[in-house]
A and B are shown apart, each in its own frame.
Chain A
Amino acid sequence: MMKQIALYGKGGIGKSTTSANLSAALSEQGCDILQIGCDPKRDSTRMLMHGRLIPTVMDLVRERGDRSLTLNEVVYEGYHGVRCVEAGGPEPGVGCAGRGIIATFQILEKLGALHADVVVYDVLGDVVCGGFAMPMREGYAEEVYLVTSGELMSLYAANNICKAISRLSSRARSRCRLAGVICNAKNLPREEELVSEFAEKIGSTMIQFIPRDQVVQNAELNKRTVVEYAPASRQAEVYRSLARQILNNRRLDIPIPLEMDDLEALAYGYLRE
């Protein structure tokens, strides 16, 4: 059965690194993977593509002036056979990136591109307008993973995404649920405990703690995922563990978003101690 998962989190939190390493690890575990970058920044799949910025669906549409694309033009095979797609979008300050995501999904549907053992959607997490909630709509991702560090702003963004999930899950046919929280650490004191408590407070669980490690930078400088660049490293094992967790995960929750005050109190409590 096809599994569709979406990774949401604040910009700059390491979603793309996590997604790419997750896709690489899942692929090594024998799954057929499709990773779709949903961020006008278009670099979600770059490490999987060994540094290459693949043409985005929106760029192709713009160059052509129509939507007669083929599968080969939008899907690129990267590390270990992981298939990569980038939605793309406008330059900052113009146009409407959210509509770009919607248009990309329509094109992928038409091309029949959305099939794999696991489809990984890597989504800009500050859900700013309806278009960025597209991957959570009916027929797409049923499991949403929040990627966050222990920083307040990162938790704040994750909490906002909970609001979107809980709103969507009130619909009769919506199957979109929160599947877990991934802590991508910034090396803050007691960060693992903080994120773990946050996860429980919103009615979910932290499924993986990813420590901060220099090897991530080194892999990136070599335009590789950690899983490929340093397969024997501890960090690579963390990503493989994440992949196993996600494959075996059966927990799907309707999250209870925290009030702003509660969220601040939670973060403040860890800061003080």
Chain B
Amino acid sequence: MPECINPLWPCALTGAAACLAGFRDVGVIIHGSSGCYFYPATVLHAPLHCTCLNEEDIIFGTEQALLRTVEALEGRYERLAVLCTCVPTITGEDFGKVLKGRDILVMESPGFIGEYEAGYKAAAQLLGLKEDSSSGKVNVDGLSLMDPFSRGDGIEVERMLSLAGIRVGARFFAGDLSISSPIAPFTVTTNPDLASGIGRLLGSLFGLPGIPGVLKEIDRSVGVEGERLETEIRDAEERISAACDKYLRRFEPPDVALFGQFSRMAALAEMLDEYLDATILGIGSRNPPGPSPYRSFQAREISSVETMFSEEIPELVLGSSFEQSLSPESAFVGVTPPLRGEVRLHSRPMAGIQGSLAFMESVLNACINRQKG
């Protein structure tokens, strides 16, 4: 289809900015017009910079505008990164000459090339971070400034790793990373769809059922003092089972539709299926979906969501504010940005043990509230 209605997911530029803004000492310059700057700055809550190109810059070349911005920022960051938006990519200027002698990353990240994940991954690979193979630490991957759960996920994974006697390496890309941070040779992720590709990936800590397997992987690589975590996992599973069982004594399990990044939604679907015996109507994936036992399709625009809702209104919808406003009758749990119109102050995780508990708790509360009418 050559056109779409209400695209639901940000473009590659926002993804690239999300990655690079995750460094405290990298100055990110959006090389484009102010409109391209405004949105990433709003959703990432990060200090970005912009060349604010106008029409004259486009006609005569954007080199001077870029140079001006670069000079104004020099000395304020360890490293500057220039993200080219659609227009300077189209006019195809070569910035090598104007930036000669400066150690500046330049990356084409036009929105027309693809979506958020594509820009994020390309930016992560551009960095060329070096791993320190002697370090016995483990990096945390999959964190992103756009994700409202990212802060909580970082804290939770760090807590779990330290409980297991493992020191945390770099956190990709949560805002506190330094371009010169030592990078550990191993990585665990909280979001497999945002894979930095840095360090050997030992597995995903998103979704309780998968966590024991990942701990075994970590144990094989760096060694784990796993007892306390194992106890905690068993305890969490028991608490979830008890709560779900209690729910099922009164109510039928919900029919659920999930909308978000594919791997995370697949993991959530698995938990709902396993713990609550829920019927998974389908996963509407923001990015291209991978293999899954559940019906999966790409939902990057509103009509694909509406088509699904027109077949059957789910009793429970997991997704963003967009899905929420399309299904006012369903129980709703926000798992995907943007999550508008609700106040969020505490660092709520969705990954790790606490994240799984928080998620199941939200689901049960939303379902119970809906049953109450």
Interface residues of chain A, those whose CB is within 8 Å of chain B, are: 58, 61-62, 65, 89-91, 93-97, 99-100, 103
Q: Does B1 contact A (CB under 8 A)?
A: no
Say how far B336's CB is from chain A's closest CB, in angstroms: 37
Contact B59 A96 (CB under 8 A): yes
Binary flags per residue of B152-174, CB closer than 8 Å to A gives 1, else 0: 00000000000000000000000
Chain A minimum-CB-distance residue to B94: A93
B56 partner, pick from A61, A91, A94, A97, beta carbons under 8 A: A61
Contact A96 B91 (CB under 8 A): yes
Contact B55 A62 (CB under 8 A): no
Contact A103 B61 (CB under 8 A): no
Interface residues of chain B, those whose CB is within 8 Å of chain A, are: 55-56, 58-63, 90-91, 93-94
Contact B93 A95 (CB under 8 A): yes
Say how far B51's CB is from chain A's closest CB, in angstroms: 14
- 5 closest A-B pairs (Cβ-Cβ)? A94-B61, A95-B61, A100-B59, A96-B91, A95-B60
Chain B contacts for A61, CB-based, 8 A:
56
A103 partner, pick from B55, B62, B91, B93, beta carbons under 8 A: B55
Chain A contacts for B91, CB-based, 8 A:
94-96
Contact A97 B59 (CB under 8 A): yes
Q: Report how far A96 CA is from B56 CA in the complex, Å.
A: 9
Q: List 17 A-B contacts (CB under 8 A).
A: A58-B60, A61-B56, A62-B56, A90-B59, A94-B60, A94-B61, A94-B93, A95-B58, A95-B59, A95-B61, A95-B93, A96-B91, A97-B59, A99-B58, A100-B59, A100-B60, A103-B59
Chain A minimum-CB-distance residue to B91: A96
Contact B59 A99 (CB under 8 A): yes
Chain A contacts for B58, CB-based, 8 A:
95-96, 99
Contact B61 A91 (CB under 8 A): yes
Chain B contacts for A58, CB-based, 8 A:
59-60
Chain A contacts for B62, CB-based, 8 A:
95
Contact A99 B55 (CB under 8 A): yes
Say how far B176's CB is from chain A's closest CB, in angstroms: 39
Chain B contacts for A94, CB-based, 8 A:
60-61, 63, 91, 93
Say how far B87's CB is from chain A's closest CB, in angstroms: 8
Chain A minimum-CB-distance residue to B63: A94
Chain B minimum-CB-distance residue to A59: B60
Contact A65 B61 (CB under 8 A): no
Chain B minimum-CB-distance residue to A90: B60
Say how far A124's CB is from chain B's closest CB, in angstroms: 15
Say how far B144's CB is from chain A's closest CB, in angstroms: 33
Chain A contacts for B60, CB-based, 8 A:
58, 62, 89-91, 94-95, 100
Say how far B63's CB is from chain A's closest CB, in angstroms: 7
Q: Report how far A100 CA is from B91 CA in the complex, Å.
A: 12
Which of A62, A93, A96, A99 is packed against the most chain B CB atoms within 10 Å? A96
Beyond A95-B93, A99-B55, 15 additional contacts (C-beta under 8 Å) are A58-B60, A61-B56, A62-B60, A65-B56, A89-B60, A90-B61, A91-B60, A94-B61, A94-B93, A96-B59, A96-B90, A99-B58, A100-B60, A103-B55, A103-B59
Say how far A2's CB is from chain B's closest CB, in angstroms: 28
Chain B minimum-CB-distance residue to A101: B59
Chain B contacts for A90, CB-based, 8 A:
59-61
Chain B minimum-CB-distance residue to A106: B55
Say how far A101's CB is from chain B's closest CB, in angstroms: 9
Chain A contacts for B94, CB-based, 8 A:
93
Chain B minimum-CB-distance residue to A91: B61
Q: Report how far A235 CA is from B56 CA in the complex, Å.
A: 41
Contact B61 A89 (CB under 8 A): no
Contact B56 A89 (CB under 8 A): no
Say how far B367's CB is from chain A's closest CB, in angstroms: 54
Say how far B90's CB is from chain A's closest CB, in angstroms: 8
Say how far A263's CB is from chain B's closest CB, in angstroms: 29
Q: Report how far A182 CA is from B94 CA in the complex, Å.
A: 39
Chain B contacts for A96, CB-based, 8 A:
58-59, 90-91
Chain B contacts for A99, CB-based, 8 A:
55, 58-59
Chain A contacts for B63, CB-based, 8 A:
94
Q: Report how far A61 CA is from B63 CA in the complex, Å.
A: 17
Say how far B92's CB is from chain A's closest CB, in angstroms: 9
Say how far A142's CB is from chain B's closest CB, in angstroms: 27
Q: Report how far A91 CA is from B55 CA in the complex, Å.
A: 16
Q: Report how far A89 CA is from B59 CA in the complex, Å.
A: 7
Q: Report how far A65 CA is from B94 CA in the complex, Å.
A: 24
Chain B contacts for A100, CB-based, 8 A:
59-60
Say how far A187's CB is from chain B's closest CB, in angstroms: 38
Q: Report how far A65 CA is from B58 CA in the complex, Å.
A: 13
Chain B contacts for A103, CB-based, 8 A:
55, 59
Q: Report how far A95 CA is from B65 CA in the complex, Å.
A: 12
Q: Report how far A62 CA is from B58 CA in the complex, Å.
A: 11
Say how far B85's CB is from chain A's closest CB, in angstroms: 14
Q: Report how far A58 CA is from B61 CA in the complex, Å.
A: 12
Say how far A93's CB is from chain B's closest CB, in angstroms: 8
Chain B contacts for A95, CB-based, 8 A:
58-62, 91, 93
Q: Report how far A65 CA is from B55 CA in the complex, Å.
A: 10
Chain A contacts for B55, CB-based, 8 A:
99, 103
